Amino acid sequence: MFRLAFIGFGTVGQGLAELLLKKEEVLRDRFGFEWRAVAISDMLKGSVYDPDGLDLAQLLETVQRTGRVDEYPAPTKGWDSLQTIRDTNANAIVEVTYTDVQTGEPALTHCRTAFEAGKHVVTTNKGPVVLAYRELVELAAAHGVQFRFEGTVMSGTPALRLAQNDLAGAVIHGFRGILNGTTNYILTQMEAGQSYAEALRQAQALGYAEAVPDADVEGWDAAGKVVILANVLLGADLRVSDVEREGITGITPEAVAAAGADGERWKLIGSGRWEGDRFVARVQPERLPLADPLAGVGGPINAVTFDTDTLGGVTLVGPGAGRTATGYALLGDLLDIHRH
């Protein structure tokens, strides 16, 4: 039985909560997967703890109606994130705080604290994985618990698990992908004649964009995902500053139209591969012919092609952002811990 503590209860945490409720019976009947939410601690919305379990449906309703977690009638309230991680009877921490991707905080401290307390962590926060993947995996292993972060790349589309589990018998030499939903959405809308500013505004309204738009449009978000793919799947040891990076802000409506007239499309491509002993990692706009499998991937959809020794290219296409898709990443992570 998973006893879950949610650290952060914004869009992604609520997305997971909705899925847990919707799929409760199926998960129990098909996989023997059982869960109870015992604590929620959110910096802005307050915190609640009940060792016997919270009514998650009532909690969701309370948050959506009042904007607060602590309007829910729980026996214990007001614990901060660290006390919630350490002192509740949770055995798995859902780490979905608003985190600074450059420092990785507060998610990084939450992960370390959870492992030291012998608790699994599932997260969609890129910061801790980008900055401290090896340290965190080792710390989790030393305490006999698991660290899962599928949602850091392509949200609920299982890019990491596909590579780690199903391509385990192949060698992955490199990858190439559309790793940022916001910029792909903007480029697709610009092809349809919308302005850059309006398309960005829509991407924000639809919940794809990062809080600071530069993170998307200047390629920082995609660069973080390149680092994660490179370090987790290809044994590299990169930092974000090792990724050559160019965003989409230089792509004008005229450039979009010119590519279209030549039967091509602009895509923001994140890539990485070993070249001898050197790992080459890039994020840059590329003009792709329509025959390229990545050219047909439009809107907020993401895609990645793994270049393998045995199968050649293996391409995965699916959602890369959004409430339910990212909530699903966490559900997949919990299920993966349960099954293994």
Catalytic site positions:
225
Question: How does DSSP classify residue 332?
Answer: H
Measured from the CB atom, the residue of 15 and 181 that comes closer to ligand HSE is 181
- For the residues of 274-314, what is the DSSP string, one character each? EETTEEEEEEEEEEEETTSTTTT--TTEEEEEEEETTTEEE
- Partners of 11 in the β-ladder: none
Residues numbered 179 to 198 that lie near ligand HSE (CB under 6 A) are 180-182
- Burial class (CB within 10 angstroms; exposed 0-12, middle 13-18, buried 19+) of 150: buried
Residues numbered 135 to 154 that lie near ligand HSE (CB under 6 A) are none
Residues numbered 252 to 311 that lie near ligand HSE (CB under 6 A) are none
Q: Min. distance of Cβ 154 from ligand HSE in angstroms? A: 8
Measured from the CB atom, the residue of 79 and 149 that comes closer to ligand HSE is 149
- Residue pair 65/33 in contact (Cβ under 8 Å)? The answer is no
CA distances from 270 to 60, 78, 330 (A): 36, 42, 23
Size of the site for ligand HSE (CB under 6 A): 11
* Lookup result for tokens 């385990």: 168
One of 15, 219, 270, 320 touching ligand HSE (CB under 6 A): 320
Q: Min. distance of Cβ 210 from ligand HSE in angstroms? A: 4
Residues numbered 195 to 224 that lie near ligand HSE (CB under 6 A) are 208-210, 216, 221
Q: Does position 50 bind ligand HSE by CB under 6 A?
A: no
Q: Which two tokens stand for residue 156?
A: 């609920």
Measured from the CB atom, the residue of 127 and 320 that comes closer to ligand HSE is 320
Dihedrals phi, psi of 101, to nearest 5 degrees: -70, -20
Measured from the CB atom, the residue of 158 and 320 that comes closer to ligand HSE is 320
Q: Which positions touch ligand HSE (CB under 6 A)?
A: 155, 180-182, 208-210, 216, 221, 320-321
